[in-house]
Structure 1
Amino acid sequence: MDRFAELKAFCLVAASGGFSPAARQLGVAASSVTRLVDALEKRVGTALLNRSTRKVTLTDSGQQYYASAQAILAQLDQADDAAAARHGQAGGLLRVSAPVTFSTMFIAPLLGELARRHPRLELDLHLSDAVSNMVDDSIDVAIRIGAAQQQPNLIARRLSGHQRVICASPAYLERHGTPEAPEDLLRHNCLLFSYGVARRGWRLQSQQAGAGFTELPVRGTLTINNSEMLRRAALDGVGIAMLPDWLVRGDLAAGTLQPLLGGYQANPGEMEIGLYAMYAANRRGSQAIKAFVDLLAEHLAQPLT
C-alpha cells in the first residue's frame, strides 16, 4: 500500500478529528481512509488514534508520529515544487479557499484563462465566507479579506485594497429617515454579516485628519454569513447594510442603493484592510500557487467593477 497515501490519510484524520471529514477532503469513501490508517498502524506496530463514536484523537504515540508525518509531507510538497520550478511548470492539485460572492464575481471569470495557461493544474476550489483553518482543511491558498495579520510560517500577499460602504435603499430611507451621524445608526435596522466570532458592532472613522474611531453596537433583525444575501436584503428595503464597494458599485450608480455617512470610513474591525492570498512560507516556490495567485493579482490590478 502507498505509504504516502497512509501518511496523508492519517494526517487528515488527525487534523479534522474524524474519518468522514478526511474522506471528504480526499474525495474517497470513509472506508478507504480507515483501511489506510489501519494499514499504517499495523505497519508501525502501535495505535496512533483513539477512536470513539464522537471524535477521533491522537494517542501519545500518535502525537509524535503526527509531527513527523507533517514534516515529511511538507518536504514532499517542497520537493514537488522545486522539481516543477526547474521546468517552469504549474501542475498538480491546488486547493484554494475563498469567499463565496467574491469568487463568483472575480475568480470564476479567470477559470478559463487559468486552464489555458496551465492545463496540468487541477484546481479544487472551496467557497465559504467563514475563515478556513488552512492546516485542518489542507488548503494551499486562502483568499481573505481583512487586516494583514502576521502569522508564523504564513505569507500574506496583498492583492488589492478593500473598502466598505454603508448603504440602504431609497424605500427604506423614505420610511425610516436618513442617518446624518454615526450615532443615528443605533436607531435603525442594521443588517449584519456573521463573521463567526463575537463581533456585532460597526466601527466608523471620520476622514478628517486625526479623527478617532466611533464604535457602534448596531443591531438588526437579520444576520447572514453571505454578502450577496445582505445586498439583496438591502435592495428590498429590509435595512441598512455595510457592504464591499465592488459588490454594490452598480447599485449605487443605478440609485437602487444610496451611500450613507460618506464622510466616514466604515469597517467591522480594523480600518486598514485589503484582499490577501495566504499560503505557507515553505510553499513559496510552488509553481501552482504562483500561477493562481499571479493571475488573480493581474486581474485585480484592474479596477474592481
Structure 2
Amino acid sequence: MDRFAALNTFILVAHTGGFSAAARELGLATSSVARLIDALEEKIGAPLLNRSTRKVTLTEAGRAYYEKAVKILSDLEEADNTAAARSSEPAGLLRISAPVTFTNLHIAPLLPELTRLYPRLEFDMRLSDATVNLVDESIDVAIRIGAMEQQANLIARKLSMHERYICASPTYLAQHGRPVLPEDLMKHNCLQFAYAAGRQIWHLQSGARMEEVQVSGNLSVNNSETLRQAALRSMGIALLPDWLVHADIQAGNLIRLMEKYQVNPGAMDIGIYAVYQLNRRGSSKIKAFTDALSIALLDAQSSRNKHK
C-alpha cells in the first residue's frame, strides 16, 4: 500500500464526507477508494471512519489521525516547495482562496501574465466571500480583506491599504435626502454586507472622535458586487470598498457620502492580506503570486489617489 496515496485519499474522504465524492476528485472508482481506506484501517488496527448510507464521518481515532495526516502531507509539500525554490522557478499547483468580486477585478487579470512567466505553475481558485480554514480546505494562500488578527500558525502579509466608502445613487439621494451626520444614517435604508448574523454597526471616525451607528435596511448579502448593483439601482445606501466603486463615483453613478469620515463595520486598521501557513513561508509559488498581486494593487491604489 502506498501510504502517502492512502493518507491523501483518507483526507479527501474526510473532507468531502463520502467515498463517491472523493473518487470523483481523484479520478478513481469508488470501490478503489474504499479499498484504500480499508487497507489503511487494517494497517493501523483501528476504524477511522463511521460509514452510513448518507455520509461518512470521522471516528474519534479518525479525527486524531486526520490532524496528523494533514500535517504530514503539509510538511511534505513544504519540503518539496523549499527544494523547488532553491533549484527552479515556481511550479506546481497553487490553491488560492479569495473573495469572488475581488478575484474578478484584481486576480483574474494577473493570471495570463503569471502563466506566461511561470509556465509550470498551475492555479486552483476557490472563490468565496466566507473565511475558509486553510488546513481543512488544503489552501496554500488566502486573500482576506479587513482587520487581521495575528495567529501563531499563520503569516499575514499586508498587500495593500483598504478603504470603504459610504455611497448611494443620485436618484436615491434625490428621493430620500443626503445624510450629513452619522446619526442621519439611521433614517435611511442601509444595504448591508452579511458579515455575521445579528445587528449591523457602522463605525465612523473623524479625527479622534469615533461614533457607532446601528444601521438597518431591507437587503443583506454576502457578495459585494450584488451590494454594488443594489446601490446603483437606488435601493439604498451602501458601504463598499474603494477598489469596487471608484469608477462608479468618478462617472457620477454613485455619490460618495460623508467624506470626512473613515468608515468600517469593525476596526479601522484594515487592509488586503495574503494569509498562508507558517510552514509555507519558503514557497516560491506563493511569493510569485503575492508579489504580483501586491504590485497590481499598489498601482491601482496610486491611480485612484490621482483621481480623488
Q: TM-score, normalised by structure 2?
A: 0.90
Tell me if the contact between 1:166 and 1:261 (Cα under 8 Å) persists in the aligned partners.
Answer: yes
Choose which of 230, 238, 241 in structure 2 pairs with 1:241. Answer: 238
Aligned counterpart, 1:36: 36
Name the residue aligned to 2:67: 67
In the other structure, the counterpart of 1:280 is 277
5+ residue gaps, structure 2: none
CA shift, 1:199, in A, is 5.4
Between the aligned partners of 1:247 and 1:86, the Cα distance in structure 2 is 38
For 1:211, the aligned partner's letter is: R
Distance 2:190 2:4 in 1: 51
Counterpart AA for 2:104: T
Alignment map for 1:156-175 (pairs within 5 Å): 156-175=156-175
Q: Distance in 2 between matches of 1:264 and 1:30?
A: 59
Of 262, 283, 293, the match for 2:259:
262
Deviation at 1:58, TM superposition (A): 2.6
Q: Does the alignment pair 1:137 with 2:134?
A: no
Aligned-residue sequence identity (percent) comes to: 59
In structure 1, how many angstroms separate the alpha carbons of the residues matched to 2:89 and 2:197? 40
1:14 match: secondary structure? helix
Render the CA deviation track for 1:183-242: whole Å, top value 9, x for unaligned: 111111111111245452211112x2x212x22221111111111111111111110000
Q: Which residue is equivalent to 2:10?
A: 10
Q: Tell me, in whole angstroms, the C-alpha distance in 2 between the residues paired with 1:106 and 1:275.
A: 12
SS of residue in 1 equivalent to 2:93:
strand
Q: Structure 1: which 5+ residue stretches go unaligned? A: none
- Of 209, 212, 234, which aligns to 1:211? 209
Q: 3-state SS of the aligned residue for 1:126?
A: strand
Q: Root-mean-square deviation (CA), in Å?
A: 2.1
Are 2:96 and 2:126, in contact at CA under 8 Å, matched by a contact in 1?
yes
TM-score by length of 1: 0.91
Aligned to 1:202: 202
CA contact (8 A) 1:16 1:136 kept: no
Q: Which one-letter code corresponds to 1:268 in the other structure? A: P
Structure-2 residue corresponding to 1:83: 83
Does the aligned pair in 2 maintain the 1:158–1:275 contact within 8 Å?
yes
Which residue of structure 2 aligns with residue 222 of structure 1? Answer: 219
| Deviation larger for 195-204 or 177-186 | 195-204
Structure 1: which amino acid aligns with 2:41? E
Residue of structure 1 equivalent to 2:121: 121
Match of 2:103 in 1: 103
Given that 2:147 and 2:267 are in contact with CA atoms closer than 8 Å, whether structure 1 keeps it comes out as yes
Q: 1:67 to 1:238 in 2, by over 3 A?
A: closer
Q: Using the alignment, how far apart are the partners of 1:108 and 1:254 within structure 2?
A: 24
Letter in 1 for 2:240: L
The one-letter code sitting in structure 2 at the alignment partner of 1:234 is: A
Aligned length: 301
Whole-angstrom distance in 2 between the partners of 1:259 and 1:4: 55
SS at match of 2:300: coil
Q: Distance in 2 between matches of 1:104 and 1:247?
A: 11
Provide the rounded CA distance (Å) in 2 between the counterparts of 1:79 and 1:205: 46
